[in-house]
Structure 1
Amino acid sequence: MTKVLALDLDGTLINENNEIIGGRETLSLLENLQVEGYEVVVVTGRLDHDIIHIAKKYNLNIKYRISQNGAVMQDEHGIKAKALNKEVALKVYKYIKDKNLRVEMNTISNRYWHSERDPEFPREFYDSSNVIEDFTQVINYQPVIIFLLIGDMEEINKVKGYIYENFDDVEAVKTSDKTLEILPKGVSKGLALKEMYPKAEIISIGDSESDFSMFPYSKASYYVGRSSFGKADFDVPSIKEALENILKEEKNG
Protein backbone atom coordinates (compact mmCIF):
# COMPACT_ATOMS: atom_id res chain seq x y z
CA MET A 1 0.00 0.00 0.00
CA THR A 2 1.25 3.47 -0.89
CA LYS A 3 2.17 5.55 2.16
CA VAL A 4 1.57 9.28 1.78
CA LEU A 5 2.66 12.21 3.92
CA ALA A 6 0.49 15.24 3.08
CA LEU A 7 1.92 18.61 4.14
CA ASP A 8 0.47 22.09 4.10
CA LEU A 9 3.01 24.85 3.35
CA ASP A 10 2.43 28.17 5.16
CA GLY A 11 2.45 27.82 8.93
CA THR A 12 3.14 24.08 8.67
CA LEU A 13 6.29 23.51 6.61
CA ILE A 14 7.40 27.11 6.03
CA ASN A 15 7.25 30.21 8.23
CA GLU A 16 6.35 33.81 7.41
CA ASN A 17 9.83 34.29 5.92
CA ASN A 18 9.36 31.28 3.63
CA GLU A 19 11.94 29.30 5.57
CA ILE A 20 11.56 25.66 6.58
CA ILE A 21 10.21 25.48 10.14
CA GLY A 22 12.75 23.48 12.13
CA GLY A 23 15.37 23.98 9.44
CA ARG A 24 17.76 21.19 8.61
CA GLU A 25 16.30 18.88 11.26
CA THR A 26 12.88 18.99 9.60
CA LEU A 27 14.37 18.33 6.18
CA SER A 28 16.37 15.41 7.55
CA LEU A 29 13.22 13.89 9.05
CA LEU A 30 11.41 14.24 5.73
CA GLU A 31 14.30 12.54 3.96
CA ASN A 32 14.22 9.69 6.51
CA LEU A 33 10.48 9.23 6.00
CA GLN A 34 10.99 9.07 2.25
CA VAL A 35 13.61 6.37 2.82
CA GLU A 36 10.95 4.53 4.84
CA GLY A 37 8.72 4.59 1.77
CA TYR A 38 6.58 7.70 2.30
CA GLU A 39 5.57 9.74 -0.71
CA VAL A 40 5.49 13.45 0.21
CA VAL A 41 2.73 15.54 -1.34
CA VAL A 42 2.35 19.26 -0.67
CA VAL A 43 -1.27 20.40 -0.28
CA THR A 44 -1.47 24.18 -0.15
CA GLY A 45 -3.52 27.27 -0.83
CA ARG A 46 -0.63 28.69 -2.83
CA LEU A 47 -0.30 28.34 -6.58
CA ASP A 48 1.43 25.34 -8.11
CA HIS A 49 4.61 27.18 -9.02
CA ASP A 50 5.38 27.84 -5.34
CA ILE A 51 5.34 24.09 -4.63
CA ILE A 52 7.75 23.56 -7.52
CA HIS A 53 10.09 26.18 -6.08
CA ILE A 54 10.04 24.71 -2.56
CA ALA A 55 10.69 21.22 -3.93
CA LYS A 56 13.67 22.40 -5.97
CA LYS A 57 15.12 24.67 -3.30
CA TYR A 58 15.07 22.05 -0.56
CA ASN A 59 15.54 18.96 -2.75
CA LEU A 60 12.20 17.47 -1.77
CA ASN A 61 11.20 14.51 -3.90
CA ILE A 62 7.59 15.50 -4.60
CA LYS A 63 5.87 13.35 -7.22
CA TYR A 64 2.41 14.97 -7.22
CA ARG A 65 1.10 18.34 -6.07
CA ILE A 66 -2.19 19.82 -4.83
CA SER A 67 -2.57 23.60 -4.89
CA GLN A 68 -5.20 26.30 -4.39
CA ASN A 69 -6.72 24.34 -1.50
CA GLY A 70 -7.57 21.32 -3.63
CA ALA A 71 -8.87 23.06 -6.75
CA VAL A 72 -5.75 22.33 -8.81
CA MET A 73 -4.03 18.94 -8.92
CA GLN A 74 -0.92 17.70 -10.72
CA ASP A 75 -0.68 13.92 -11.05
CA GLU A 76 0.46 11.37 -13.62
CA HIS A 77 -2.23 12.59 -16.03
CA GLY A 78 -1.09 16.23 -15.94
CA ILE A 79 -2.65 19.27 -14.30
CA LYS A 80 -6.41 19.46 -13.83
CA ALA A 81 -8.48 22.17 -12.19
CA LYS A 82 -11.97 22.81 -10.86
CA ALA A 83 -13.02 26.35 -11.68
CA LEU A 84 -15.85 28.58 -10.53
CA ASN A 85 -18.83 28.82 -12.85
CA LYS A 86 -18.33 32.03 -14.85
CA GLU A 87 -21.73 33.56 -14.05
CA VAL A 88 -21.35 32.69 -10.38
CA ALA A 89 -17.84 34.19 -10.34
CA LEU A 90 -19.19 37.42 -11.82
CA LYS A 91 -21.95 37.62 -9.17
CA VAL A 92 -19.55 36.88 -6.33
CA TYR A 93 -17.12 39.50 -7.60
CA LYS A 94 -19.89 42.10 -7.88
CA TYR A 95 -20.71 41.50 -4.21
CA ILE A 96 -17.18 41.50 -2.80
CA LYS A 97 -15.31 44.05 -4.92
CA ASP A 98 -16.44 47.15 -3.00
CA LYS A 99 -16.17 45.64 0.49
CA ASN A 100 -13.69 47.09 2.96
CA LEU A 101 -11.45 44.12 2.25
CA ARG A 102 -8.57 43.40 -0.03
CA VAL A 103 -9.90 41.27 -2.90
CA GLU A 104 -7.57 39.06 -4.93
CA MET A 105 -8.32 36.46 -7.58
CA ASN A 106 -6.49 33.38 -8.84
CA THR A 107 -6.67 31.60 -12.16
CA ILE A 108 -4.74 28.34 -12.61
CA SER A 109 -1.38 30.05 -12.92
CA ASN A 110 -1.83 33.75 -12.11
CA ARG A 111 -2.86 36.08 -9.31
CA TYR A 112 -4.85 39.25 -10.01
CA TRP A 113 -4.77 42.23 -7.66
CA HIS A 114 -6.47 45.63 -7.67
CA SER A 115 -3.34 47.21 -6.21
CA GLU A 116 0.12 46.15 -5.18
CA ARG A 117 0.26 44.28 -1.89
CA ASP A 118 2.97 44.03 0.72
CA PRO A 119 5.45 41.68 -0.99
CA GLU A 120 6.01 39.94 2.34
CA PHE A 121 2.38 38.71 2.57
CA PRO A 122 3.27 36.09 1.58
CA ARG A 123 6.19 36.35 -0.77
CA GLU A 124 5.72 34.42 -3.98
CA PHE A 125 8.74 32.52 -5.17
CA TYR A 126 7.70 33.12 -8.77
CA ASP A 127 5.82 36.38 -9.30
CA SER A 128 2.66 35.57 -11.24
CA SER A 129 0.74 38.67 -10.15
CA ASN A 130 -1.06 41.16 -12.38
CA VAL A 131 -2.39 44.48 -11.10
CA ILE A 132 -5.64 45.54 -12.78
CA GLU A 133 -8.42 47.88 -11.69
CA ASP A 134 -11.31 45.54 -12.45
CA PHE A 135 -11.39 41.73 -12.67
CA THR A 136 -14.53 41.50 -14.81
CA GLN A 137 -12.77 41.07 -18.16
CA VAL A 138 -10.48 38.38 -16.78
CA ILE A 139 -13.49 36.50 -15.39
CA ASN A 140 -15.15 36.65 -18.81
CA TYR A 141 -12.12 35.19 -20.58
CA GLN A 142 -10.33 32.94 -18.08
CA PRO A 143 -11.46 30.19 -15.67
CA VAL A 144 -11.37 31.57 -12.13
CA ILE A 145 -10.29 29.20 -9.38
CA ILE A 146 -10.37 31.23 -6.15
CA PHE A 147 -11.18 34.64 -4.73
CA LEU A 148 -9.04 35.56 -1.73
CA LEU A 149 -10.30 38.17 0.75
CA ILE A 150 -7.97 39.75 3.30
CA GLY A 151 -8.95 42.07 6.13
CA ASP A 152 -10.82 42.50 9.41
CA MET A 153 -12.08 39.27 10.97
CA GLU A 154 -15.60 40.61 11.54
CA GLU A 155 -15.93 41.63 7.90
CA ILE A 156 -14.51 38.29 6.78
CA ASN A 157 -17.12 36.45 8.85
CA LYS A 158 -19.94 38.59 7.39
CA VAL A 159 -18.88 37.76 3.84
CA LYS A 160 -18.57 34.08 4.69
CA GLY A 161 -22.13 34.05 6.04
CA TYR A 162 -23.48 35.91 3.00
CA ILE A 163 -21.79 33.53 0.57
CA TYR A 164 -23.31 30.47 2.24
CA GLU A 165 -26.74 32.07 2.41
CA ASN A 166 -26.83 33.21 -1.22
CA PHE A 167 -24.68 30.84 -3.30
CA ASP A 168 -25.26 27.10 -3.47
CA ASP A 169 -22.28 26.10 -5.60
CA VAL A 170 -19.35 27.78 -3.86
CA GLU A 171 -17.43 27.26 -0.63
CA ALA A 172 -16.13 29.97 1.69
CA VAL A 173 -13.20 28.73 3.77
CA LYS A 174 -11.22 30.72 6.31
CA THR A 175 -7.50 30.09 5.96
CA SER A 176 -6.75 32.36 8.93
CA ASP A 177 -8.65 34.82 11.12
CA LYS A 178 -8.13 37.50 8.47
CA THR A 179 -8.29 35.58 5.21
CA LEU A 180 -11.20 33.94 3.39
CA GLU A 181 -11.10 31.90 0.20
CA ILE A 182 -14.13 31.53 -2.06
CA LEU A 183 -13.85 28.48 -4.33
CA PRO A 184 -16.01 25.92 -6.16
CA LYS A 185 -18.39 23.73 -4.16
CA GLY A 186 -17.00 20.31 -3.40
CA VAL A 187 -13.39 21.46 -3.51
CA SER A 188 -11.18 20.85 -0.50
CA LYS A 189 -7.71 19.66 0.31
CA GLY A 190 -9.15 16.45 1.71
CA LEU A 191 -11.24 15.57 -1.34
CA ALA A 192 -8.32 16.28 -3.68
CA LEU A 193 -6.03 14.13 -1.56
CA LYS A 194 -8.54 11.27 -1.57
CA GLU A 195 -9.01 11.57 -5.34
CA MET A 196 -5.28 11.52 -5.95
CA TYR A 197 -4.60 8.66 -3.51
CA PRO A 198 -7.82 6.59 -3.25
CA LYS A 199 -6.14 3.51 -1.77
CA ALA A 200 -3.18 5.03 0.08
CA GLU A 201 -2.40 5.13 3.78
CA ILE A 202 -2.32 8.88 4.43
CA ILE A 203 -0.81 10.92 7.25
CA SER A 204 -1.59 14.64 7.09
CA ILE A 205 -0.16 17.70 8.82
CA GLY A 206 -1.68 21.19 8.79
CA ASP A 207 -2.30 24.35 10.79
CA SER A 208 -5.58 25.96 9.65
CA GLU A 209 -9.26 25.38 8.89
CA SER A 210 -8.53 24.52 5.25
CA ASP A 211 -6.29 21.64 6.41
CA PHE A 212 -8.97 20.00 8.57
CA SER A 213 -10.60 18.48 5.48
CA MET A 214 -7.57 16.19 5.07
CA PHE A 215 -7.96 14.67 8.51
CA PRO A 216 -11.00 12.37 7.91
CA TYR A 217 -9.14 10.71 5.03
CA SER A 218 -5.97 10.16 7.05
CA LYS A 219 -4.80 7.24 9.15
CA ALA A 220 -3.25 9.85 11.44
CA SER A 221 -3.23 13.63 11.37
CA TYR A 222 -1.36 16.37 13.20
CA TYR A 223 -2.50 19.91 13.92
CA VAL A 224 0.56 22.17 14.28
CA GLY A 225 -1.16 25.55 14.50
CA ARG A 226 -1.88 27.85 17.42
CA SER A 227 -2.02 26.40 20.94
CA SER A 228 -5.37 28.13 21.46
CA PHE A 229 -8.23 27.29 19.11
CA GLY A 230 -11.60 28.75 19.97
CA LYS A 231 -12.15 28.44 23.73
CA ALA A 232 -10.07 25.29 24.16
CA ASP A 233 -6.40 25.44 25.00
CA PHE A 234 -4.33 22.40 24.18
CA ASP A 235 -0.76 21.47 23.43
CA VAL A 236 0.15 21.08 19.78
CA PRO A 237 3.33 19.63 18.31
CA SER A 238 5.75 21.43 16.05
CA ILE A 239 6.26 20.08 12.54
CA LYS A 240 9.53 18.57 13.76
CA GLU A 241 7.82 16.79 16.67
CA ALA A 242 5.07 15.49 14.39
CA LEU A 243 7.60 14.07 11.92
CA GLU A 244 9.61 12.52 14.75
CA ASN A 245 6.50 10.77 16.01
CA ILE A 246 5.58 9.49 12.54
CA LEU A 247 9.09 8.13 12.06
CA LYS A 248 9.03 6.51 15.49
CA GLU A 249 5.70 4.83 14.77
CA GLU A 250 7.02 3.64 11.41
CA LYS A 251 10.13 2.06 12.93
CA ASN A 252 8.08 0.44 15.70
CA GLY A 253 5.84 -1.14 13.11
Structure 2
Amino acid sequence: MKLLASDIDGTLYRNYFVSNDIKKFIDEFAKRNIFILATGRNFFNFLLFIKKEEIQYNYSILCNGAFVLDNNFKVILNKKFKKIYIKDILYNLYLMEKNTEIIASHEFEQIIHLPYEKIETFYARLPDQINSLNLKLPKNNNKFINYLKKKEDLSFEYNNNYIDIIPKNINKGMAVELIRKNLKIKREDTFAIGDSENDFSMFDVVENSFYINKKKVNSAKYNVSCFEELINHMIMEKK
Protein backbone atom coordinates (compact mmCIF):
# COMPACT_ATOMS: atom_id res chain seq x y z
CA MET A 1 0.00 0.00 0.00
CA LYS A 2 1.24 3.47 -0.90
CA LEU A 3 0.47 6.85 0.65
CA LEU A 4 0.21 10.09 -1.33
CA ALA A 5 -0.39 13.44 0.37
CA SER A 6 -1.25 16.44 -1.78
CA ASP A 7 -1.70 20.12 -1.11
CA ILE A 8 -4.86 21.56 -2.70
CA ASP A 9 -4.55 25.20 -3.79
CA GLY A 10 -1.84 25.77 -6.38
CA THR A 11 -1.05 22.06 -6.53
CA LEU A 12 -4.15 19.98 -7.20
CA TYR A 13 -6.50 22.90 -7.75
CA ARG A 14 -5.03 25.19 -10.40
CA ASN A 15 -6.82 27.81 -12.49
CA TYR A 16 -9.94 27.14 -10.37
CA PHE A 17 -10.40 23.47 -11.30
CA VAL A 18 -8.91 19.97 -11.05
CA SER A 19 -8.28 18.36 -14.43
CA ASN A 20 -10.12 15.19 -15.41
CA ASP A 21 -6.82 13.32 -15.86
CA ILE A 22 -5.87 14.09 -12.26
CA LYS A 23 -9.31 13.08 -10.98
CA LYS A 24 -9.11 9.77 -12.85
CA PHE A 25 -5.69 9.02 -11.38
CA ILE A 26 -6.80 9.89 -7.83
CA ASP A 27 -9.99 7.82 -8.11
CA GLU A 28 -7.99 4.71 -9.02
CA PHE A 29 -5.22 5.40 -6.53
CA ALA A 30 -7.57 5.95 -3.56
CA LYS A 31 -9.29 2.59 -4.13
CA ARG A 32 -6.13 0.60 -3.35
CA ASN A 33 -3.95 3.07 -1.50
CA ILE A 34 -4.16 6.09 0.82
CA PHE A 35 -4.73 9.52 -0.71
CA ILE A 36 -4.58 12.50 1.65
CA LEU A 37 -5.69 16.06 0.95
CA ALA A 38 -3.53 18.39 3.05
CA THR A 39 -4.48 22.05 3.17
CA GLY A 40 -4.59 25.23 5.16
CA ARG A 41 -8.32 25.41 4.45
CA ASN A 42 -10.76 24.94 7.29
CA PHE A 43 -13.59 22.39 7.15
CA PHE A 44 -16.10 24.80 5.61
CA ASN A 45 -13.85 25.76 2.68
CA PHE A 46 -12.62 22.19 2.28
CA LEU A 47 -16.23 21.01 1.96
CA LEU A 48 -16.87 23.59 -0.78
CA PHE A 49 -13.90 22.20 -2.70
CA ILE A 50 -14.95 18.55 -2.29
CA LYS A 51 -18.53 19.21 -3.38
CA LYS A 52 -17.42 21.21 -6.42
CA GLU A 53 -14.67 18.88 -7.65
CA GLU A 54 -15.97 15.51 -6.36
CA ILE A 55 -12.48 14.29 -5.45
CA GLN A 56 -12.09 10.84 -3.92
CA TYR A 57 -9.84 10.76 -0.85
CA ASN A 58 -9.14 8.76 2.30
CA TYR A 59 -8.07 11.45 4.79
CA SER A 60 -8.08 15.23 5.01
CA ILE A 61 -5.53 17.33 6.87
CA LEU A 62 -7.13 20.72 7.53
CA CYS A 63 -5.95 23.95 9.15
CA ASN A 64 -2.35 23.05 8.26
CA GLY A 65 -2.46 19.94 10.43
CA ALA A 66 -4.55 21.07 13.40
CA PHE A 67 -7.73 19.22 12.35
CA VAL A 68 -7.53 15.77 10.70
CA LEU A 69 -10.48 13.70 9.47
CA ASP A 70 -11.11 10.49 7.59
CA ASN A 71 -13.45 10.46 4.58
CA ASN A 72 -16.43 9.84 6.87
CA PHE A 73 -15.55 13.02 8.83
CA LYS A 74 -14.41 11.01 11.83
CA VAL A 75 -11.95 13.12 13.82
CA ILE A 76 -8.41 11.69 13.86
CA LEU A 77 -6.64 14.70 15.35
CA ASN A 78 -8.02 17.89 16.90
CA LYS A 79 -5.38 20.34 18.14
CA LYS A 80 -6.35 23.78 19.44
CA PHE A 81 -4.90 26.81 21.17
CA LYS A 82 -6.51 29.12 23.72
CA LYS A 83 -7.98 32.27 22.25
CA ILE A 84 -6.22 34.37 24.87
CA TYR A 85 -3.00 33.68 22.90
CA ILE A 86 -4.28 35.74 19.98
CA LYS A 87 -6.02 38.57 21.83
CA ASP A 88 -3.19 41.07 21.51
CA ILE A 89 -2.49 39.91 17.92
CA LEU A 90 -6.05 40.80 16.95
CA TYR A 91 -5.94 44.16 18.70
CA ASN A 92 -2.61 45.09 17.13
CA LEU A 93 -3.83 44.05 13.69
CA TYR A 94 -7.04 46.04 14.16
CA LEU A 95 -5.04 49.17 14.92
CA MET A 96 -3.19 48.79 11.62
CA GLU A 97 -6.03 47.61 9.36
CA LYS A 98 -9.56 47.86 10.75
CA ASN A 99 -11.32 45.96 7.94
CA THR A 100 -8.83 43.22 7.22
CA GLU A 101 -10.02 39.65 6.60
CA ILE A 102 -10.04 37.42 9.69
CA ILE A 103 -11.45 33.88 9.94
CA ALA A 104 -11.24 31.66 13.01
CA SER A 105 -11.75 27.91 12.66
CA HIS A 106 -13.18 25.68 15.37
CA GLU A 107 -13.65 22.06 14.32
CA PHE A 108 -16.54 22.03 11.82
CA GLU A 109 -17.41 25.72 12.06
CA GLN A 110 -15.83 29.02 11.10
CA ILE A 111 -16.21 32.44 12.71
CA ILE A 112 -15.77 35.38 10.34
CA HIS A 113 -14.91 38.92 11.35
CA LEU A 114 -17.77 40.98 9.95
CA PRO A 115 -17.24 44.27 8.09
CA TYR A 116 -16.83 47.15 10.55
CA GLU A 117 -17.27 44.79 13.51
CA LYS A 118 -15.36 45.91 16.58
CA ILE A 119 -12.50 43.56 17.32
CA GLU A 120 -13.61 43.09 20.93
CA THR A 121 -17.01 41.93 19.65
CA PHE A 122 -15.39 39.43 17.29
CA TYR A 123 -13.09 38.19 20.07
CA ALA A 124 -16.06 37.67 22.39
CA ARG A 125 -17.76 35.50 19.74
CA LEU A 126 -14.83 33.09 19.60
CA PRO A 127 -14.94 29.83 21.57
CA ASP A 128 -12.35 29.47 24.32
CA GLN A 129 -10.13 27.35 22.03
CA ILE A 130 -9.75 27.31 18.24
CA ASN A 131 -7.86 25.24 15.64
CA SER A 132 -6.57 28.13 13.54
CA LEU A 133 -6.83 31.82 12.77
CA ASN A 134 -6.45 32.98 9.18
CA LEU A 135 -5.86 36.66 8.54
CA LYS A 136 -4.82 38.95 5.74
CA LEU A 137 -1.64 40.80 6.55
CA PRO A 138 -1.69 44.61 6.65
CA LYS A 139 -0.16 46.48 3.70
CA ASN A 140 3.02 47.44 5.53
CA ASN A 141 3.45 44.06 7.16
CA ASN A 142 7.16 43.76 8.00
CA LYS A 143 6.71 45.27 11.45
CA PHE A 144 3.68 43.06 12.11
CA ILE A 145 5.49 39.88 10.96
CA ASN A 146 8.46 40.68 13.21
CA TYR A 147 6.00 41.14 16.06
CA LEU A 148 4.46 37.71 15.36
CA LYS A 149 7.85 35.99 15.34
CA LYS A 150 8.19 36.82 19.02
CA LYS A 151 5.11 34.73 19.83
CA GLU A 152 6.51 31.44 21.15
CA ASP A 153 3.21 29.78 22.07
CA LEU A 154 1.97 29.51 18.47
CA SER A 155 3.07 28.42 15.00
CA PHE A 156 2.67 30.48 11.83
CA GLU A 157 2.28 29.48 8.18
CA TYR A 158 2.71 32.23 5.58
CA ASN A 159 1.06 32.15 2.14
CA ASN A 160 1.39 35.28 -0.01
CA ASN A 161 -0.49 38.06 1.82
CA TYR A 162 -2.14 35.71 4.30
CA ILE A 163 -1.03 33.98 7.45
CA ASP A 164 -2.42 31.00 9.36
CA ILE A 165 -1.93 30.91 13.11
CA ILE A 166 -2.04 27.36 14.47
CA PRO A 167 -1.08 25.48 17.65
CA LYS A 168 2.61 25.22 18.50
CA ASN A 169 4.53 22.42 16.71
CA ILE A 170 1.59 21.59 14.44
CA ASN A 171 2.06 21.22 10.68
CA LYS A 172 1.01 19.10 7.70
CA GLY A 173 4.00 16.79 8.00
CA MET A 174 3.19 15.85 11.59
CA ALA A 175 -0.33 14.86 10.50
CA VAL A 176 0.94 12.84 7.50
CA GLU A 177 3.34 10.96 9.77
CA LEU A 178 0.52 10.24 12.24
CA ILE A 179 -1.62 8.68 9.49
CA ARG A 180 1.32 6.72 8.06
CA LYS A 181 2.20 5.19 11.43
CA ASN A 182 -1.42 4.40 12.28
CA LEU A 183 -1.76 2.49 8.99
CA LYS A 184 1.73 0.92 9.28
CA ILE A 185 2.75 2.09 5.80
CA LYS A 186 6.48 1.88 5.03
CA ARG A 187 8.21 5.22 4.55
CA GLU A 188 9.61 3.99 1.22
CA ASP A 189 6.02 3.86 -0.06
CA THR A 190 5.19 7.49 0.75
CA PHE A 191 4.79 10.48 -1.58
CA ALA A 192 3.91 14.15 -1.11
CA ILE A 193 3.42 17.10 -3.45
CA GLY A 194 2.98 20.81 -2.80
CA ASP A 195 3.86 24.29 -4.00
CA SER A 196 4.40 26.37 -0.86
CA GLU A 197 6.53 26.58 2.26
CA ASN A 198 3.76 25.11 4.39
CA ASP A 199 4.24 21.88 2.39
CA PHE A 200 7.91 21.48 3.34
CA SER A 201 7.01 19.66 6.56
CA MET A 202 5.35 16.94 4.44
CA PHE A 203 8.50 16.63 2.33
CA ASP A 204 10.48 15.93 5.50
CA VAL A 205 8.44 12.86 6.44
CA VAL A 206 8.02 11.08 3.07
CA GLU A 207 10.45 9.23 0.84
CA ASN A 208 9.36 10.87 -2.43
CA SER A 209 8.67 14.60 -2.34
CA PHE A 210 7.63 16.77 -5.30
CA TYR A 211 7.88 20.56 -5.20
CA ILE A 212 5.96 22.54 -7.83
CA ASN A 213 8.60 25.20 -8.19
CA LYS A 214 11.85 25.71 -10.09
CA LYS A 215 13.61 26.69 -6.89
CA LYS A 216 15.61 23.89 -5.27
CA VAL A 217 14.97 23.18 -1.58
CA ASN A 218 16.74 20.57 0.52
CA SER A 219 13.54 18.88 1.66
CA ALA A 220 12.19 18.25 -1.88
CA LYS A 221 13.52 15.28 -3.82
CA TYR A 222 12.04 16.38 -7.16
CA ASN A 223 11.14 19.70 -8.75
CA VAL A 224 8.13 19.53 -11.07
CA SER A 225 5.90 21.98 -12.91
CA CYS A 226 2.53 20.31 -12.22
CA PHE A 227 0.73 17.39 -10.55
CA GLU A 228 0.75 15.46 -13.83
CA GLU A 229 4.52 15.05 -13.57
CA LEU A 230 4.06 13.19 -10.30
CA ILE A 231 1.52 10.94 -12.03
CA ASN A 232 4.03 10.16 -14.79
CA HIS A 233 6.68 9.40 -12.17
CA MET A 234 4.43 6.95 -10.33
CA ILE A 235 3.38 5.24 -13.57
CA MET A 236 7.02 4.80 -14.61
CA GLU A 237 7.84 3.46 -11.17
CA LYS A 238 5.41 0.57 -11.69
CA LYS A 239 7.18 -0.55 -14.86
* TM-score, length-scaled by structure 2: 0.80
Match of 1:26 among 10, 18, 22: 22
Q: 1:243 maps to which residue?
A: 231
User: Cα offset for 1:44?
Assistant: 0.5
* Higher RCO (C-alpha 8 Å, min separation 6): 1
Gap regions ≥5 residues in structure 1: 116-130
User: Cα offset for 1:151?
Assistant: 4.1
Q: Work out the CA distance in 2 between the residues paired with 1:181 and 1:153.
A: 17
The within-5 A match list for 1:183-202 is 183-198=166-181, 199-200=184-185, 201-202=189-190
Match of 1:143 among 129, 134, 138: 129
What is the root-mean-square deviation of aligned Cα atoms in Å? 2.7
User: Cα offset for 1:204?
Assistant: 0.6
From the superposition, tell whether residues 132 and 193 of structure 1 become closer, same or farther in structure 2 (CA, over 3 Å): farther
User: Cα offset for 1:81?
Assistant: 2.0
Q: 1:83 maps to which residue?
A: 80
State the one-letter code of the partner of 2:5: A
How much identity, in percent, do the aligned residues show? Answer: 22
* TM-score, length-scaled by structure 1: 0.76
The secondary structure found in structure 1 opposite 2:152 is: coil
The within-5 A match list for 1:16-165 is 16-17=15-16, 19-20=17-18, 23-34=19-30, 37-75=32-70, 78-79=74-75, 80-100=77-97, 102-108=100-106, 109-115=109-115, 132-134=117-119, 135-139=122-126, 141-151=127-137, 155=141, 157-165=142-150
The secondary structure found in structure 2 opposite 1:45 is: coil
User: Cα offset for 1:221?
Assistant: 0.9
Is the CA contact (8 Å cut-off) linking 2:210 and 2:223 kept in structure 1?
no
The secondary structure found in structure 2 opposite 1:241 is: helix
User: Cα offset for 1:64?
Assistant: 1.8
From the superposition, tell whether residues 153 and 136 of structure 1 become closer, same or farther in structure 2 (CA, over 3 Å): closer
User: Cα offset for 1:57?
Assistant: 4.3
- Number of matched pairs: 223
Q: Work out the CA distance in 1 between the residues paired with 2:56 and 2:172.
A: 20
Gap regions ≥5 residues in structure 2: none
Residue deviations 1:85-126 (CA, integer Å, cap 9, x gap)? 2321223222322223824122222141232xxxxxxxxxxx
State the one-letter code of the partner of 2:30: Q
